[in-house]
Structure 1
Amino acid sequence: MTRPLLAEIDLAALRHNYRLAQARAPVSQAMAVLKANAYGHGAVACAQALEDLAPAFAVACLEEAMELREAGITTPILLLEGIFDASELEYVDTLGLWMTVHSQWQVDALFAYRPTTPIPVWLKVDSGMHRLGFPPREAEGLWHKLQADRGRVSELYLMSHFATADALDSQQFRQQLTLLQGLAKRLDAPTCLANSPATLAWPETHGDWNRPGIMLYGSDPLEGANDASRRLRPVMTLRSRIIALQDVAAGEPVGYGGRWRASRRSRIAVVACGYGDGYDRHARDGTPVLVDGQRASLAGRVSMDMLTVDVSDVPGAAIGSEVVLWGRAAGGEVLSVDEVARHCETISYTLLTGMLPRVPRRYHDDEVAGD
């Protein structure tokens, strides 16, 4: 394998971020979210790294849960979207999974099935996001029915999802929280409400369980960073090297469509990474990269297998120089995936989950003393 592009996954940083989630909510249990292949980081490897810390994992669907079980992961796993067909209940039962119910047909399917062991159920309430979940009035009646059926339901939790917990001040967030607090009090229900931004910034949302997701991978989900989110460590470093150098005169174009033109005599580095690897084709000119630890910027449109960088102000840039597209450079300098995402007019989630299979993942696990 000679192409220099790889995604380095720092499992020690993953555990650091998980411990931070625990520390932010010491009275809650933190369910580590591993959906979408652990946000592009590799679900099995991340589960193995967290298995001795996390009391439960969460995934989007049965297929993701089965991958973990087949890899020998025995930790409880919650299906965040529940089942997609009644036939999946057999696997929920035999694999010992936890199940979200958000629609009446799922409840009906559960009541029509007799599991060998009662299933932990998470009743999802639509508190204002209007995506998944029961209206609060319906949820109250269903709560009592589920609670009464101890042959099918073991533990029962109240669950919802915040639409704007990342915002510094949101009326919608306050409305959702007020509704959920009232409902939980009426039902005397244990709750699972907090996602990553709520875990980091809103202690009043912390329930019996929280669901840290993107924060585990080192991305700051908050609109404005706080002391806790600044302590997150990047888990993925997308690393490549310069494979060619070009000197171009002032006024010369670079790349497809000639979008970027040199404002002076410039030195252009060609880097082995492109949209065929998952790097965002919408990245604008000026999107930052690190070349041997020094900041440089994208010059021209991203190609399928390559991108071009203006290294005119990085005099030591040479064939083979390290290029970090996001993450931590060899010298310790960090380029946040969140900053790169802003230049692409997207969010870190799409960049991390968009890393395609041809990008090899290389895992390392170097604990920091005192971590």
Structure 2
Amino acid sequence: MARPLVADIDLDALRHNYRLARELAPASQAVAVIKADAYGHGAVACARALEALPADSRPPAFAVACLEEAESLRRGGVKAPIVLLEGIFEASELERVDALGLWMAVHSEWQVAALLAYRPTRPIPVWLKVDSGMHRLGFSPEEAVTVWQRLAVASECAAALHLMSHFATADALDGQYFHQQMSRLRALAEHLGAPLCLANSPATLARPEAHGAWVRPGVMLYGSDPLEAPSEASRRLRPVMTLRSRIIAVQELAAGEPVGYAGRWRAPRPSRIGVVACGYGDGYDRHAVDGTPVLVAGQRVSLAGKVSMDMLTVDITELPEAGTGTEVVLWGNASNGEVLSVDEVARYCGAISYTLLTGVLPRVPRRYHERS
């Protein structure tokens, strides 16, 4: 019998979340961000599911971080345009960008020089990255004017120019810094007459003034709420991944007995401990504290003791019917309809949902489901 831990991927929920992004930004095109193997969900399977939408509602493009991710999608049969969000990492990659029909961001002078020195078989669509205040990648607004003008006249090399930037605080309730970035970008776009691609998941959900020609929904596609405080829109997101396992053993402990490495948790009364087939070797966060919620038979119980490589332990004293073989949901949808948000679990781990979702390791089988 196979180890019971699986990551169930609900492709209908993925499509629902993408449709929500389009509904929130009806005047924008929505590039579906599927970098990092679609945030741990399986990039090829997710791209295919979204490409199967009706022609008027499927993504006009996908976005990944690097050439290797784009190549994997092409090998998987994905035909839509693919944007390289970090562009190329060396000039020699332009040959593959050209051959695969990719779009690319440019954020550094050497990338611009490499592109202008290359003669593609057809002009490469370019998204010019502007550093509007995140201070990671991109040209300053002043530098961007000159770079835009250089690319605009190089029609044999570059086409479909857009301005692109990234918000540092679009998820925050305090919008002061967001509005500073937005003001810089709006002025630059007006000066150049340039279309904008600015809105990440939080801005797509909560900052309509940033929607522009394109939005870039990422983690929201997978059902995680990136906002500092939930909104009416973010409450409509549906979880895509359910990390599901079973109890594989039960321990009966006297009061005061320890559980797990270093005996961090001790039974406050005679207790029943369920041993679950899931650990940090699968990607469950080792930093999860005692009290981290878990669903057992659709009922909330608490983590009890440190997470091990292959197992974790939960207190099932209040669930006398639970035993070996009982369903356990680490995050996502239980069979009885109860939902445990990956965002809530992440808070107990001192992490964010992105970390948990992308951290689910390859030894955990992905099992894909769809009704449509």
TM-score normalised by length of structure 2: 0.98
Q: How does 1:90-239 map to 2 (within 5 A)?
A: 90-239=95-244
Q: 1-side partners of 2:321 and 2:207: how far apart?
A: 46
Q: CA deviation at 1:56?
A: 0.3
Cα-to-partner distance string for 1:12-56 (whole Å, 9 max, x where unaligned): 000000000000000000000000000000000000001131110
Q: For 1:20, give the aligned amino acid.
A: L
Which of 246, 249, 270 is the aligned partner of 2:251?
Answer: 246
Q: 2-side partners of 1:133 and 1:300: how far apart?
A: 45
Q: 1-side partners of 2:330 and 2:92: how far apart?
A: 43
Q: For 1:19, give the aligned amino acid.
A: R
Q: 1-side partners of 2:335 and 2:366: how far apart?
A: 17
Partner residue, 1:45: 45
Q: 2-side partners of 1:24 and 1:37: how far apart?
A: 25
Cα-to-partner distance string for 1:346-369 (whole Å, 9 max, x where unaligned): 0000000001110000000024xx
Partner residue, 2:90: 85
C-alpha RMSD over aligned residues: 0.7
Q: 1-side partners of 2:176 and 2:237: how far apart?
A: 27
Q: 1-side partners of 2:2 and 2:76: how far apart?
A: 29
Residue 16 (1) aligns with residue 21 (2):
no
The count of aligned residue pairs is 367
Find the residue that maps to 1:26 and give its secondary structure.
coil
Partner residue, 2:28: 28
Q: 1-side partners of 2:187 and 2:318: how far apart?
A: 58
Partner residue, 2:78: 73
Q: CA deviation at 1:315?
A: 2.1
Q: CA deviation at 1:170?
A: 3.0
Partner residue, 2:289: 284
Q: How does 1:257-272 map to 2 (within 5 A)?
A: 257-272=262-277
Q: 2-side partners of 1:314 and 1:161: how far apart?
A: 47
Cα-to-partner distance string for 1:318-366 (whole Å, 9 max, x where unaligned): 1100000000001111000000000000000000000111000000002
Q: 2-side partners of 1:314 and 1:252: how far apart?
A: 19
Residue 332 (1) aligns with residue 337 (2):
yes
Q: 2-side partners of 1:252 and 1:220: how far apart?
A: 38
Residue 320 (1) aligns with residue 325 (2):
yes
Q: CA deviation at 1:171?
A: 1.8
Residue 294 (1) aligns with residue 289 (2):
no
More deviation, 157-166/142-151: 142-151
Cα-to-partner distance string for 1:80-111 (whole Å, 9 max, x where unaligned): 00000000000010100001000000000001
Residue identity over aligned pairs, in percent, reads 73
Q: CA deviation at 1:72?
A: 1.0
Q: For 2:23, give the aligned amino acid.
A: A
Partner residue, 2:359: 354
Find the residue that maps to 2:330 and give its secondary structure.
strand
Q: CA deviation at 1:149?
A: 1.1
Q: CA deviation at 1:78?
A: 0.1
Gap runs ≥5 in structure 1: none
Q: CA deviation at 1:75?
A: 0.3
Find the residue that maps to 2:345 and give its secondary structure.
helix
Q: 1-side partners of 2:252 and 2:328: how far apart?
A: 18
Q: 1-side partners of 2:165 and 2:140: how far apart?
A: 11
Q: 2-side partners of 1:183 and 1:313: how far apart?
A: 60
More deviation, 163-172/15-24: 163-172
Q: 1-side partners of 2:289 and 2:371: how far apart?
A: 34
Cα-to-partner distance string for 1:100-126 (whole Å, 9 max, x where unaligned): 000000000001100000010000000
Q: 2-side partners of 1:169 and 1:316: how far apart?
A: 47
Find the residue that maps to 1:222 and give its secondary structure.
coil
Q: 2-side partners of 1:92 and 1:58: how far apart?
A: 13
Cα-to-partner distance string for 1:221-241 (whole Å, 9 max, x where unaligned): 000000110000000000000
Q: CA deviation at 1:153?
A: 1.1
TM-score normalised by length of structure 1: 0.98
Q: For 2:135, give the aligned amino acid.
A: H
Q: 1-side partners of 2:59 and 2:224: how far apart?
A: 19
Q: For 1:80, give the aligned amino acid.
A: L
Cα-to-partner distance string for 1:277-311 (whole Å, 9 max, x where unaligned): 00000000000000000000100000000000001
Cα-to-partner distance string for 1:254-291 (whole Å, 9 max, x where unaligned): 00000001111111000000000000000000000000
Moved over 2 A (4+): none
Q: For 2:171, give the aligned amino acid.
A: D
